[in-house]
Amino acid sequence: MDNFLNKIDKIEPTDAKIKEEYLNFKHDVTKQVIQSLREKIPKRIIYFNNLVNINSEPGMILNVKGLYNTPCKYKIDHTEENVKKQIKTNDCNNVKKKKETNETDTNGYTSNCEINGDTNCDTNCDTNCETNFETNSDTNCDINGTSIGSTSLDRNGKKKIVVDDKVLYTHRVPSHKQIYNELEKLKTYTSELMEIVGNVKLWIQLNTPKIEDGNNFGVEIQDQAVNILNRVEEVAFSLYDDSVKYYMERAKLSTKIIKYPNVNDYQEALREFDEKEWIIIKITIIDIRNNYIMLYDFLCKNWEKVVKPKNEDVHLRMTF
């Protein structure tokens, strides 16, 4: 085994085509990094700085003037209210017809109500209709007579109303479209940041020299650059979790507003919650800008040590 290992000077692909593709891959990574450092990163720094310029006016970071306030009050669909009224009317008519049918025998005799001249017959029927609205209803219809629901028995033998999905839209709290759009943009910003950071980190790691005694200061600079890139990646990944948390917390407040519409504090809490998220979005954009600046500034100041960690000729180590 030792003799076999002694014959191997260095590990390289045995297939010449694979070796060429591997070298081309390293070359492409280098080209992407140089393009990012010369063009993409400076452009993104200027873009984010113009997007949220906190130096233009004091207190701009906590300013929510650019956020329009979505009404927090829940909305009621009037069509559904009319459907409810129509269901009630249809069920009353059905119950009334059933009662009249039951009061008339099969031989065509009139009911006791008509024989006795009871003038309260219709009134009693309407009263029974109101009382038996939920228990005697088998099929519910909308305004056009289309069936939208029916009654069935649950495991305990009690009747339950099964409503069609097409009319199951009533009280709702609208989502904040402006914040939703900004969060979608943030996802694009962070994905681009992670892509650039990943390429730069891979490029530095691929060009780290072999471990030797002495003169490792340049290697330490490379390690420090990789640590900075790792922190930037962690920040970018955490942004996705923050957006999910926002939607979950807002959903809880919206549920409270629907459940307790007369408590104005829940509506005020939702408005404050949206304003807080708007401020967080601006802070996040500033953080993305700062991460770009710190990465760019560090690489510019330590460029020689990054590309020539041991004072070697840069053309011997890297391909541009």
Q: Is residue 62 part of a domain?
A: yes
Q: How far is CA 112 from the centre of its chain?
A: 66
The mean pLDDT value of the chain amounts to 72
Contact 33, 203 (CB under 8 A): yes
Contact 196, 36 (CB under 8 A): yes
Structure tokens at 46: 């200027």
pLDDT value at residue 91: 52
Residues pairing with 141 in the sheet: 147
- Which among 182, 200, 216 has a CA at the least distance from the CA of 294? 200
Structure tokens at 36: 């990012």
CA distances from 202 to 28, 72, 126, 178 (A): 12, 47, 80, 36
Q: Strand 147-153 vs strand 139-141: parallel, antiparallel, or unpaired? A: antiparallel
Please spell the DSSP secondary structure of 251-320, one letter per residue: HHHHHHHHH-TT-HHHHHHHHHHHHHHHHHHHHHHHHHHHHHHHHHHHHHHTHHHHH-TTS--HHHH---
Contact 288, 189 (CB under 8 A): yes
Query: Quick check: helix, strand or coil at residue 145?
Result: coil
CA distances from 134 to 86, 130, 210 (A): 14, 9, 81
Q: Which of 8-22, 84-98, 124-138, 187-201 has the highest mean pLDDT?
A: 187-201
Under DSSP, the state recorded for 94 is H
Q: Is residue 150 part of a domain?
A: no
Q: How far apart are CA 316 and CA 308, in angstroms?
A: 10
Q: Is residue 97 part of a domain?
A: no
Confidence band for 25, pLDDT divided at 50, 70 and 90: very high
Q: Domain of 17?
A: 13-71+174-307
Q: How far apart are CA 251 and CA 270, in angstroms?
A: 10
Radius of gyration for the chain, computed over Cα atoms and rounded to the nearest angstrom:
36
Under DSSP, the state recorded for 4 is H
Confidence band for 99, pLDDT divided at 50, 70 and 90: low
Written as one letter, the residue type at 178 is: Q
Structure tokens at 230: 């790792």
Q: Is residue 35 part of a domain?
A: yes
In the chain, how many domains are there?
Answer: 1
pLDDT value at residue 42: 94
Check whether 125 has a pLDDT greater than 90.
Answer: no
Contact 48, 288 (CB under 8 A): yes
Please state the length of the chain: 320
- CB-CB neighbours of 41 under 10 Å: 18
Higher pLDDT pick, 267 / 52:
267
Burial category of 244 from C-beta neighbours within 10 Å (exposed 0-12, middle 13-18, buried 19 and up): exposed
Structure tokens at 85: 């009224």
Contact 278, 62 (CB under 8 A): no
Q: Is residue 167 part of a domain?
A: no
CATH code where residue 36 lies: 1.20.120.180
Q: Is residue 133 part of a domain?
A: no
Q: What's the predicted TM-score (pTM) here? A: 0.62
Q: Is residue 91 part of a domain?
A: no
Check whether 220 has a pLDDT greater than 90.
Answer: no
Higher pLDDT pick, 39 / 61:
39
pLDDT value at residue 29: 92
**In sequence order, which residues have a C-beta less than 8 Å from that of residue 132 and are 6 or more positions away?**
95
Under DSSP, the state recorded for 117 is T
pLDDT digits (tens, 9 = 90+) for 192-217: 999 999 999 999 888 877 766 666 66
Q: Is residue 297 part of a domain?
A: yes
Q: How far apart are CA 123 and CA 118, in angstroms?
A: 10
pLDDT value at residue 44: 94
Q: How far apart are CA 116 and CA 113, in angstroms?
A: 6
Confidence band for 273, pLDDT divided at 50, 70 and 90: very high
pLDDT digits (tens, 9 = 90+) for 140-194: 444 344 444 444 555 555 544 344 444 333 567 888 999 999 999 998 998 899 9
